[in-house]
Every structure is written in C-alpha cells, then in structure tokens.
Amino acid sequence: MNEVYINSAACISFQDTLNENFFYHLKPENSSQVLKAIEPNYKEFIPPAASRRMSKTVKMSSVASQYALKEAGIENPDAIIVGTGMGCSQDSEKFLKNVLDHNEEFLTPTFFIQSTHNTVAGQIALGLQCHAYNFTYVNTSSSLEFSMLDAKLQISDGEAENVLVGSTDEQTERVMELYKLNKTIKKEENLPVDYLNSETEGVIWGEGASFFVLGKEKTENSYAQLKDIRIISRLELTETQQFIEDFLAKNDLTNNDIDAVILGFSGDSRSDIYYKSASQLFTNSALLYYKHLSGEFNTASGFSIFIACQILKNQEIPEVMLINDVEKAEIKNILLYNHLGGNDHSLVLLGKV
C-alpha cells in the first residue's frame, strides 16, 4: 500500500486564501448571517466568453484547481474527483425559474445541463482535455472526505499517481431565504454569535472551493501525509469519544499522540455538543476551530483541511483559531472532526511530512 501525500492546496473562501500571506491576516466574522467568498479576477484564468456561461461554483473551482495543479507541477492528473453538497445551485434555480416563467414550454436546455452536480468536475476535465477517471461525490458534509478516500484508495492500490481532489459549494438567493425560514441560518437577533458557547440554534452560512493534488510521491512542496479517513452518517452523542478512540487505535495512536485537533464549531447549540464531547479527549492537544473564518456549509471541511496543511507546513498555528492554550514544540499529527447539523460525521488524520 503506497503512502499518500497532499502535494498542493488551493482555496477560495471568505478569507483571502489565494493571497500568499493570508495565514497571518485571518479575520473572524460573527455578525453576518451569510459570508460571501472573496472571488479572484476570473478574466486572468477563464476566457470572458466562457466565464459568462459559468456559475459561481464552476468559476471558483476552475481557478482553485488551476492553482492546485500549478503548485504541484501537474498538467494532467490521473483522476479528477470533486465533492459537493449542493452542486450548481445557481443554474438549478435559473432552470426552475424558467420552467415557471414559461409554463414549462420553450425551455433552453443550457441551465438544466449546467445544473447537474458533476458539472464542476466535467468543466475542469474539459479545460484540461483530461480523459481520465472523473467522479463527483454528493454526500452533504462528507462529500470531500468521500472524494479524498476514493483518491487515497486509487493511489494506495497503484491505480493512480496524482489525483486532483476538490470540494465546492455556492450560495444562491432562494436557498439562503429558505435556510433562514427553516432556521438553518441564525436569526439576526441572535447575532453576533459566540461560536464556542452559543445558546441559540442555527449557523452563519458560507461558501467556497478547495482543491488539492494527492500523490504517491513526496515532493519538496508536500504539505502533509493523508494518513486515514473515517466517515459515519449517524452517531449518538454518547458514542462520539469511542468513535474517535477506535479511529486512533486503528492508526496505532492514542489521544496524546495528536498535537492539534481542528473541530467544526459552528455556533449551532444543537449540534456543537458533539465537538464539546470530542474536545474532552484531548487535554494535552492544541484545540482549534475554524468556521468563524469560513462559515458553515456542506464542504466547509475543505477550508479546515487547507488550513491544516498550512499549519503542518509552517509549524505554526494562527492565534485566531485557538480554543485552549496548549503549545506544542512540533506539530506531527492533526486530527480534523466535522459534521453538519449532527449528521455525516467525518475524521481526517494528517501527518507531518
């Protein structure tokens, strides 16, 4: 079984993560209901004629994937795997609006064709003229983790050497309205939110795209070793600690071997209790959180993996992410724990290269 390395990482998010110095200029946000991603100048990466036909998530993914491939020095990957929770929501909304406005008649197929979840992976492949394995995972908050697991298995089994793996989700006006109505998004009167000690339901919603090149060979630019991933759709609160301990034991580790734990505290009082339970296991580890920097969304874990890669490479933790004051002389192992609303729990274990 080959080891698997994360050889490049690129992210478009609410933070200016395409900027080389973003690591030292992270700005938390706790007073807005919705956080918009900072978008690049797409003209530099995508021909304007093509850009006009692309939804936001396709454009973000196209740019982030270009950054990731360029950093890894890969022109054509052996596979393209993308995880998304909501897919191309903007084009889905446009298509449904057309259906209503035109009484289900005289519809142009463009919005329908571009509304499918696998549009992102397909557009990236078209841009690269890549005819390799192309797959999209739609598993709510564990979409990226399933994508990375697929890539890891392919590399471990010798079926691929370099795989482009990404995650992406966009906001749309109508979906955000619905999320406010069903209390997924926090009410304005409950803002600003204390992410770690919230007593109200709902989250601040974000968006973004994160792309990585996973490879079997370690390079000079490698960020981390992708050691293991575990996913479970349902978990009782009382099972949380056992879920984590079993995962660590499988990798011949104990909780004391974990130098930093990145938890997905979202400010939702109903579901953050899982993270509070998990944190009790790691009294000797640096505890971190990140959704005050990215917002909550289906593939927010892409932002956390991107940040974890920077932490392992720089051997430095941004102060804005710290929950406790445990300091480590060296950061060798990082554990990431995420879920969305108490469902689809995932663990990702990254190691220093």
pLDDT digits (tens, 9 = 90+) for 191-220: 999 999 999 999 999 999 999 999 999 999
Task: Tell whether 184 and 133 lie within a shared domain.
Answer: yes
SS3 state at 332: coil
- Among residues 152, 185, 215, the one where a domain terminates is 215
Residue 220 lies in a domain: no
pLDDT of residue 160: 97
Q: Specify the amino acid at residue 148.
A: M
Q: Rounded mean pLDDT of the chain?
A: 95
Whether 310 maps to a domain, the answer reads yes
pLDDT of residue 155: 97
Residue finishing a domain among 193, 215, 237: 215
Percent of the chain residues topping a pLDDT of 70: 100
254 lies in the same domain as 134: no
Q: Is the pTM of this model over 0.75?
A: yes
Measure the CA–CA gap between 190 and 115, rounded to whole angstroms. Answer: 34
3-51 tens-digit pLDDT: 999 999 999 999 999 999 999 999 999 999 999 999 999 999 999 888 8
261-279 pLDDT, tens digit per residue, is: 999 999 999 999 999 999 9
Q: Where are the beta strands (DSSP E) in the chain?
A: 5-12, 79-83, 133-137, 162-169, 208-215, 224-232, 260-263, 286-289, 333-340, 343-351
- Is 189 inside a domain boundary? yes
Are the C-beta atoms of 29 and 86 separated by less than 8 Å?
no
Domain boundary among 185, 215, 245: 215
> Reading across the β-sheet that carries 333-340, which strands appear in turn?
133-137, 79-83, 162-169, 208-215, 5-12, 224-232, 343-351, 333-340, 260-263, 286-289
Confidence of residue 343 (pLDDT cuts 50, 70, 90): very high
Q: Crossing angle, helix 173-181 and helix 89-101, to 10 degrees?
A: 90
Report the pLDDT value the prediction gives residue 186, as an integer from 0 to 100.
97
Contacts of 84 (CB under 8 A, 6+ apart): 57, 117, 120, 136, 137, 138, 143, 167, 168, 169, 298, 299
Q: What is the pLDDT of residues 116-174, one digit of tens each?
A: 889 999 999 999 999 999 999 999 999 999 999 999 999 999 999 999 999 999 999 99
Q: Are strands 79-83 and 133-137 parallel, antiparallel or unpaired?
A: parallel
Q: Which residue range is the domain that position 232 belongs to?
A: 225-351
pLDDT at 1 exceeding the cut of 80: no
**Hey, what are 254's tokens?**
């104990």
The answer on 239 and 161 residing in a single domain is: no
